[in-house]
Structure 1
């Protein structure tokens, strides 16, 4: 059964909080922003934590790996949960559950307890899958890529904002309220956890699963297949080679983004002799592109799709990923700082556009297993980050490691051509679009006219 009532407009209705589709969009990107904020909130406080708990470099490394690795499993599970229970319950449950380890890390008194808390906090990274799932079922094919990319891109900003916001929160507790540093970092994390808890409750009361209502009600009215029909959806997704191709592709863009976020500041400091502050500013050029770059990737995916169908979306994905790989290889060979920053920005642009382009394709692979597919592809990003991290373990020069990564990304771009759609699926996507546009026109005479059948 196909969900009806999907939104065909986003920007013109941006302020229409009376519409469930717009409420879901705003709450999903803000929830994801908060999740990223809490996920990496401890990172800028690590100098204080390291000194208090006496952590070694190796122990710190294990906490970083744990926080990223556990997300792979969490994303696989949460995709199935979205298919079965709906995104509203999945997001509320995830936020409420993860609020406790976010607050609980403040109780850590040793490496072991800190590692366990860091591991559990990593589960919050599964929020990406719910964000993409919720916007996928709320928006029509003409802008589902745009909605997915924007919600994810704005959410990713949380990882950058926390780098300067958490030290401010820490300073508030220490400087203004007079707590010790040992207590200050703990209270800062408790504050982040409390906000997670509150937003989890708000998500339950202010959103709904689909345009026409919640999954439980839709199933009771016969408008949505029974929950038992979700059995086997994960297996169904695993059997589709296109899903694994997209997972590798996402590893080559989002996985690379996570890797660059971890190494960029040190790379500029070591290879260009920059101080920590200026190196951080240079590295920030990469992350801040999320404000618009990922949205552009989704928008171009939608535009290509309107003109050339699903094949057009895949073609754009190849272009973005191929350009990302070439730009990364160029960046790795730069020795003049201004040119290095310029190529970093170009690389970042295509890297994040490739992420948006990926999830402009995902909603069309198999609607019956959308959650499982989103989970597998999303998990691919974290697998990519973990795998790429081994290149920076000290065995080879970092510029060489970046060159190798660029070459691998370029090769991975050709996997886009393994994502093919039958003529029947092309026509189904076009008919879905026409149906949503027609319903929109009936509700609003200013809605856009139907698009021609793509070639």
Structure 2
């Protein structure tokens, strides 16, 4: 483990790895969200209907849920250096496909495949945890997550200007293509400039591939239960694309997806059993155990934090436009104040976790998150615009700080499984987004914010089941030697 001091302006050793990792994450979010700010121009160029635009937005997140699980497994097995580089290079292909598409069907296929790049976040969580000691990990993961997550806001601000600079109705194609080129080029930069661990450190891999390891029969049952919402969310996305929703799929195709999801779920359960079948015949040694309830609580917390952020970012411009009679451009600028807080809030949440403890920080931030959304629900046209912006920014501080605090704890559960745990927790953020956006489509805006606040209260209650990470994680290297890794 590097003993280099934590100097955010340094660009060598562990700081170089952190900076290059947040840059990789930043680029994945630029690519993932490159269509949203250009959608009006794209719609005019291709001749898209409102239903087709909504379909593209749904497809953009559809693949990210399973992708984060898969990328977590691949990261733990092959290492973050190779995985991040490969993801950036491979996902540039559907990005270029989207840039040259001239029909809705081509756009839809490319957008669906581009959902995979949204899994890049998971990879950096593992590599940062390898390079930074436990006492600095929250701050480092917060900087990685906050600065990388800012890629979505950067795309919203810069890509329309890039498209305009190229001019004509095809300017958007150049803007999208440039993001693909960035992704491809940075894949080489990343591969040749980072290593999975500091020199002399061991990279611990899962004992078995194909599923998350647990260490008791009770944890196995809880793991299966926690898988259900992810498959249910994919079924919900299929329903949105069915004739009942935006009618992209036929009834036969929709039914086939439902059956396919059920079969994949059953296979997933079987595969998970195969990975963990030893726990049904013998007890795992005490020093190797970890509690899966830690993962479950963090899943619920990310459902509430990142899930609500994705949902609110999607609807906030329209909320400001309707509430304060603003133009969409002005409303978008005002609403971006929510996303801008990522630069400070997420690192702030990680820093607080390092100083005050993981559980205590999450309790405080979750309580603030619940109060924040309750206050946002009170905003109406009688409020001054400035006061509304302040309340929204205060709420976003607790939301994004909570995200930083969640991933300050994730790497401290079981080192060799960090990618898979981060993948599952990250997937729950997307599950939350789909859930909240579905609620938003069915209820008033005020009720929508009340639902988020209520779910935050539920998350607050689950935190009492969480144990503060302390002591050491025991890992066994390829020679069979036990290594103790500090988590406090």
Provide TM-score, normalisation by structure 1: 0.84
Q: Quote the residue 1:253 is aligned against.
A: 305
Q: Quote the residue 2:370 is aligned against.
A: 325
Q: Quote the residue 2:360 is aligned against.
A: 315
Matches within 5 A, 1:46-57: 46-57=39-50
Counterpart CA distance in 2 for 1:190 and 1:386 is 28
- Are 1:86 and 2:79 matched, yes or no? yes
- Are 1:401 and 2:394 matched, yes or no? no
Contact 1:146 1:302 survives alignment (8 Å):
yes
Q: Quote the residue 1:205 is aligned against.
A: 192
Q: Which of 222, 231, 242 matches 2:209?
A: 231
Shift of 1:8: 5.9
Counterpart CA distance in 2 for 1:171 and 1:189 is 12
Contact 2:75 2:83 survives alignment (8 Å):
yes
Matches within 5 A, 1:142-161: 142-161=135-154
3-state SS of the aligned residue for 1:206?
coil
Shift of 1:24: 1.1
Q: Quote the residue 1:382 is aligned against.
A: 430
Q: Deviations over 1:241-282 (max 9, x none)?
A: 321221111010011111111011100111221222321222
Q: Deviations over 1:315-339 (max 9, x none)?
A: 2112111211111111111220333
Counterpart CA distance in 2 for 1:48 and 1:67 is 18
Q: Quote the residue 2:467 is aligned against.
A: 420
Q: Quote the residue 2:289 is aligned against.
A: none
Counterpart CA distance in 2 for 1:121 and 1:233 is 24
Gaps of 5+ in 1: 175-179, 305-311, 431-450
Q: Quote the residue 2:254 is aligned against.
A: none
CA RMSD of superposed structures (Å): 2.1
Q: Deviations over 1:142-166 (max 9, x none)?
A: 1101000111100111100111211
Counterpart CA distance in 2 for 1:98 and 1:30 is 16
Shift of 1:235: 3.9
Shift of 1:15: 1.7
Q: Quote the residue 1:363 is aligned against.
A: 411
Shift of 1:34: 1.0
Q: Quote the residue 2:229 is aligned against.
A: none
Shift of 1:35: 1.0
Q: Quote the residue 1:442 is aligned against.
A: none
Contact 2:138 2:351 survives alignment (8 Å):
yes
Matches within 5 A, 1:51-90: 51-90=44-83
Aligned length: 400
Greater shift after overlay, 204-213 or 23-32? 204-213
Runs of 4+ in 1 over 6 A off after TM superposition: none
Matches within 5 A, 1:286-325: 286-304=338-356, 312-325=357-370
Q: Quote the residue 1:279 is aligned against.
A: 331
Gaps of 5+ in 2: 224-291, 475-485
3-state SS of the aligned residue for 1:420?
coil
Q: Deviations over 1:24-81 (max 9, x none)?
A: 1011001111111111111111111112222222221121111112111111011111
Contact 2:414 2:473 survives alignment (8 Å):
no
Q: Quote the residue 1:15 is aligned against.
A: 10
3-state SS of the aligned residue for 2:133?
coil
Q: Quote the residue 2:33 is aligned against.
A: 40
Q: Quote the residue 1:164 is aligned against.
A: 157
Q: Quote the residue 1:101 is aligned against.
A: 94
Contact 2:415 2:473 survives alignment (8 Å):
no
3-state SS of the aligned residue for 1:229?
coil
Contact 2:10 2:16 survives alignment (8 Å):
no
Note closer, same or farther for the CA distance 1:26–1:228 as it changes in structure 2 (3 Å cut): closer
Counterpart CA distance in 2 for 1:112 and 1:330 is 42
Counterpart CA distance in 2 for 1:243 and 1:83 is 16
